[in-house]
Structure 1
């Protein structure tokens, strides 16, 4: 009898292990110990050694990964990894940048360096060399057509105060030609309703009809409050959406509708007043908050057109001074149609679930312990699948490549 019990126990353990370690059909670039890695399915590959690498980004077709080398105290030099040739290389002798983006339609890379927007040329089918596009650029994003950029320029400080923030539409082949720099929209500062000296984090809606961005004021003010804005693709309709902190991942367009989800609320500390909010476009002033009283949402991701995943914790209004308390977030699902909300991950004591990402039918997130900088990447298929660790000991959330 004892033998049968032990055999049954071993078979159950084997079955559970097989399920928990089932291959995940995903491909991700990630940073571990400051080095660039790739994981495809259940295979990991280290791509760099030495130095301090970060911020990987996939090219349009997944052949290339751009990343930068250098910590916060050093200059950030641009590198590219070629998956076909299995080689790291520099697209030019020296490119110093922290803001670089791949074209949505090709393997062309754009970046800013010293306020100059540039695009890479090609050599033997690889990004190599560069051409100047525009001067005076503070932030940029490709238009969905891959032929133009939306570009912002920082406001000037005048004797009468800060001037307006200018937004331009510029073809990628502008080559510093002033005649090709087309004014797109001008944001006039209006204290306290809308005060900004630059805008950043351009994001296009799923159909390319709207672009969102965060309007950022002076540094001390920006720590507590920034303005989320939305502009039509023709540059004719502009709306301020709400106040929020300047976190790029706190703004996400629906995958199939002109709905913008963001985490609203002022105040630099995460202990209160951080609410998941949805804005319908182009209906003016139609917004709804989904965070229940007594809680804060500190990250979000669309799972589908009707479901949103948020990283949620109990608020802490009792804290007033001293070390800022850790907010122990778990993932929750919000159904915006029937208003149901359910907890879907259950970290143990002193653990934090954060950085939710949805790739196809899979949900991934980072789980780490309090006061630890590294974490593990967890994954589950759908909202009801079995969750398990997919990548261990990552420095930050992975960046996934998807053919969609």
Structure 2
């Protein structure tokens, strides 16, 4: 009798054990129906109502999420912050309009651009509150890894003699509009036949802070088809023109442990052809290596590990010549950059596509969209496991994962 009871208990409990999944130890901010949400593990929390949220960003310690409350017409861009400790939304100042916001890498300080003025928030009771002017005449910026300085750009002007150089400066965060404090880091000479841009931005530091990469922006019509990708050593002594690509910030990324820059090369605003994954070694004179096979295009990338890159890949569509641009139905591929081996790792159904790969620790996430809609579901896969699963349903665009 005891054996029969034990067997019945095993039969009853076993089905529940097989369907139980371990909680995902990740944290994400995402937008659903224009509202800000947060997901931690398997728990979802709606953080805003009656707003039009975009560009959420985590503070360095994950206590705060900065975001822009805009509108469908793009005429409003008010800066708000959500405090996960006090569970409330607040403004660091009654009215701050900005489209470029960056958290300090070492503190809960928020720098933002309002017009051509770079500002940094003060701190009150551990929260960003108020602001101080840092510098005028700024078109783009990023914190230095030390959290004490900024790299800033100043737009080129058209003179009777041609375009003046684009200036990059290194300035302290406590500059307070003191025009004697900026240090000229580098002047980028402009040549319409070689390197043409009127501004630069999208700064990204290499893992060791020795290099910073950024995209140049030419005049509006030109920038739709080609943008120069550049890199500069942190001391401003070495400048490199890496290549030409479209103006997507997610299309160039540093390796996690080496000064290697992966990017999607290729001119032309349409995705149907000529979008090739390349890797440039900034400290070697070797030729850039191409990884996209002939007949395919790569339309997104992410480093999975120091030796592996994930790309969103689709067959070319050279048959298309006119009319609405066709949807490129991408799947994710894994590239081993040491051996050159490439394997397809996701298999979306017909009329589905996989985009926006992101990696945190051993987890790979991506968005699976349906047809031409921009919305989709966030899928997740642990490298230690074979199966993927849906982690977040119905997102407006790719979530922002918290990375320490």
Same fold (TM over 0.5): yes
Residue 54 of structure 1, CA deviation: 1.2
Partners in 1 of 2:175 and 2:317 — Cα distance? 51
Work out the CA distance in 1 between the residues paired with 2:147 and 2:267. Answer: 35
Q: Equivalent residue for 1:230?
A: 231
> 1:252–1:260: 8 Å Cα contact kept in structure 2?
yes
- 2:62 is aligned to 62
SS in 1 for 2:305: coil
Tell me which residue corresponds to 1:5: none
**Residues 1:354 and 2:355 are matched in the alignment:** yes
* Cα drift, residue 385 of structure 1: 2.7
Q: Which moved more, 1:197-206 or 1:67-76?
A: 67-76
Distance 1:13 1:161 in 2: 74
Equivalent residue number for residue 30 of structure 1 = 30
What is the SS of the residue equivalent to 2:180? helix
Aligned to 2:165: 164
Residue number in structure 1 paired with 2:4: none
Residue deviations 1:259-282, cap 9 Å, x none? 000000000000000011000012
- Separation of aligned partners in 2, 1:226 and 1:180: 31
Shift of 1:374: 1.2
Q: CA 1:123 to 1:9, structure 2 compared with 1: closer, same or farther past 3 Å?
A: same
Deviations 1:294-315 (A, max 9, x none): 0000000000000000000000
Deviations 1:308-343 (A, max 9, x none): 000000001111111111000000000001111000
- Whole-angstrom CA distance in 1 between matches of 2:383 and 2:15: 23
Q: 1:13 to 1:323 in 2, by over 3 A?
A: farther
Cα shift at 1:161: 2.1
- Cα-to-partner distance string for 1:21-64 (whole Å, 9 max, x where unaligned): x3211110100000001111111100100021111100011100
Displacement of 1:10 in angstroms is: 10
**Partner Cα separation in structure 1 for residue 392 and residue 15 of structure 2:** 21
Does the aligned pair in 2 maintain the 1:255–1:302 contact within 8 Å? yes
How far off is 1:185 after superposition? 0.3
Contact 1:344 1:383 in 2 (8 A): no
Taking structure 2 as the reference length, the TM-score comes to 0.95
Q: Report the TM-score when normalising by structure 1.
A: 0.95
SS of corresponding position for 2:280: strand
Is residue 121–residue 127 contact of structure 1 (8 Å, CA) maintained in 2?
A: yes
Distance (whole Å) between structure 2 residues aligned to residue 386 and residue 13 of structure 1: 18
Structure 1 residues 336, 383: closer, same or farther in 2, change over 3 A? farther
CA distance in 1 between partners of 2:398 and 2:15 (Å): 30
Give me the whole-angstrom Cα distance separating, in 2, the residues matched to 1:372 and 1:340.
Answer: 32
Q: Secondary structure at the match of 1:180?
A: coil
Query: Equivalents in 2 of 1:279, 1:11: separation in Å?
Result: 54
User: Offset of 1:384 from its aligned partner?
Assistant: 4.9
Considering only aligned residues, what root-mean-square deviation do their CA atoms show, in Å? 1.7
Q: CA deviation at 1:11?
A: 8.5
Which has the larger displacement, 328-337 or 185-194? 185-194
Matches for 1:190-339 after TM superposition, within 5 Å:
190-284=191-285, 286-339=287-340
Q: Any unmatched runs of 5+ in structure 1?
A: 1-7
Number of the residue aligned with 2:100: 99
Distance 2:119 2:175 in 1: 10
Conservation of the 8 A alpha-carbon contact between 1:363 and 1:383? no
Shift of 1:286: 2.6
User: Which is further off, 296-305 or 393-402?
Assistant: 393-402
Question: What is the distance in 2 between the residues matched to 1:340 and 1:174?
Answer: 50
Structure 2 SS opposite 1:220: helix
- Paired residue secondary structure (2:177): coil
Residue 39 of structure 2: aligned partner: 39
| SS, match of residue 221 in structure 1 | helix
Give distance in 2, aligned partners of 1:220 and 1:402: 36
Gaps of 5+ in 2: 1-9
* CA distance in structure 1 between the aligned counterparts of 2:384 and 2:276, rounded to whole angstroms: 22
* 1:160-196, Cα deviation, whole Å (9 max, x unpaired): 2221111000000000000001111000111221011
Aligned length: 395
* SS of alignment partner, residue 20 of structure 2: helix
**Aligned twin of 2:19:** 17
Q: Decide whether the 8 Å contact of 1:64 with 1:80 is kept in 2.
A: yes
Instruction: List structure 1 segments (4+ residues) > 4 angstroms apart after TM superposition.
Output: 8-16
